[in-house]
Amino acid sequence: MRLRTLLLVPILAASSPAAAIPPPPEQMSANCESPTYASDVMVCGDPLLRALDARMRDAWVTLDFAAVVAPDACVEAQDAWFRRRSLCAFSGRQSGCLEDAYLERIAVLQALRLVASRPLRWAAAATCPDTPWGGATVRIRARATGALAVENDDARVLAAATPLRPGSAWTPYAAFAVEGPSIRLLPMSGPAITCTLGIGR
């Protein structure tokens, strides 16, 4: 009887609510008041990273993401980006990974804000065959930061990408490379998409 009791104690303790580990709180930016993530600790203790986090947060809170981004677009959601950003804690170059993560996100959010604030005529016509959104004519525009946005006739973003950064510890959700008159989009998951400029109405 004593043996059975000793065997049951750890099982009961493990299944009790007190032993359950709650999920981490949902975040969109670093929490410097009570950091939960190792990456938050680094961001909050580094002036450059903390400034980048503030810039990213300002860009995010002033953007109506759902109104600008088309459903099923190749654009990373903010909470998904934040979770990936937190994985920089496992990188041998944590600081560089975080810096590049923030630079990518700021550039993407600024590109989305540009689409929301400027008429469609400011963008260049292009075609992108064999894409999730079909072969219809799209518009492409880029910011001075280098981020690129592909949008439809309703001025909703179908894809957002940043330039490839060889050697970076951070992988952008979607990168792009210019190949003559074409732009090649390289999503983290899924096949590459080639868009040819100057073809449209």
Predicted confidence pLDDT, tens digits, the chain (201 residues): 443 443 333 333 444 444 554 445 577 889 888 888 889 999 999 999 999 999 999 999 999 999 999 998 999 999 999 999 999 999 999 999 999 999 999 999 999 998 888 766 667 889 988 888 876 789 998 877 679 999 998 889 999 999 988 888 999 999 999 888 899 999 998 899 999 988 554
CA neighbor of 139 nearest in space, from 11, 112, 153: 153
Taken in order 149, 152, 157, 159, the sign of the CA dihedral is negative
Q: What is the pLDDT of residue 145?
A: 67
Could you tell me how many helices (H) and strands (E) the chain has, helices first?
6, 8
Q: Quote the pLDDT of residue 170.
A: 95
Query: What are the beta bridge partners of residue 175?
Result: 162, 186
pLDDT, residue 3, reads: 38
Q: What is the pTM of this model?
A: 0.82
Cα–Cα distance, 29 to 4 (Å, whole number): 49
Is 92:146 a contact under the CB 8 Å cutoff?
Answer: no
CA distance 69 to 37: 28
